[in-house]
Homo-oligomer: A and B are copies of this chain.
Amino acid sequence: MAKVTNTLRRRQNLKQTLVRAAEKTIAKRGLAGLRARELAVEVGCAVGAIYNVVEDIDDLIMLVNERTLAALERSLIESAQVTTGAAGTADAIERLVGLAVGYLDFAHANGLRWRAMFDHRLPKGRDVPDWYRASQRRLFGYVEAPLRALQPGASDQRLALLARSLFSAVHGVVELGLDEKLQPLPVEILHEQVAAVAAAIGRGMAQA
């Protein structure tokens, strides 16, 4: 017997609608431009209704950010144009550089949506949901694969660590490069810098 009631469906429907609307305003006006009341108007529900399908505004933001994470993943897969293997050191470094540049391109193309992932802090005491962490890990996997070619002997744990560091370094260059606070750089120059940093770290990890 279909215990999947009508209301349940409507709730999930509203949730999805809310997430999409929130995503749109974040993309247009940034994380700080997201207002509960405006959202309610936009999706055509009462303010209180938001709290029926979502814990918090923070919860809603996490849902949006998870979608951005997924979009980043799709973007990276696409831009990597499936170089199926070729396990040489030079090839691995090239793939790392490709990922780094792909990351920059995504960040640049999806400015405010991308920034929301790092600008947002959930209120202290609350910790990151598992499904969000899972998405993060999945992304690191794309970095670990080429790294394995550079350090065949390394343990999985060590590989995860190296992937994190490589990502963090590239992320830093992208973040501060696009930042207003530190005077944003032309994107072509950023391309060079990101590629140079990724290549240097790749080489560094190859020899050690």
**Is A121 in contact with chain B by the CB < 8 A criterion?**
yes
- A127, A197, A200 pick with most chain B CB within 10 angstroms: A200
Q: Mark A106-133 against chain B: 1 for CB-CB distance below 8 A, else 0.
A: 0000000000001101001001100001
User: DSSP class of A's interface residues: helix, strand, loop or mixed?
Assistant: helix
**Is A13 in contact with chain B by the CB < 8 A criterion?**
no
Chain B residue numbers with a CB within 8 Å of A164 are 176-177, 182, 185, 193
Q: Which of A46-54, A79-87, A167-175 interfaces with chain B?
A: A167-175
Min CB distance, A144 to chain B, in Å?
A: 15
**Is A32 in contact with chain B by the CB < 8 A criterion?**
yes
A side interface size, CB within 8 A: 39
The one of B30, B124, B180, B200 in contact with A203, judged by C-beta atoms closer than 8 angstroms, is: B200
Whether B205 contacts A200 by the Cβ 8 Å rule is yes
Tell me the bound Cα distance from A136 to B182 in angstroms: 8
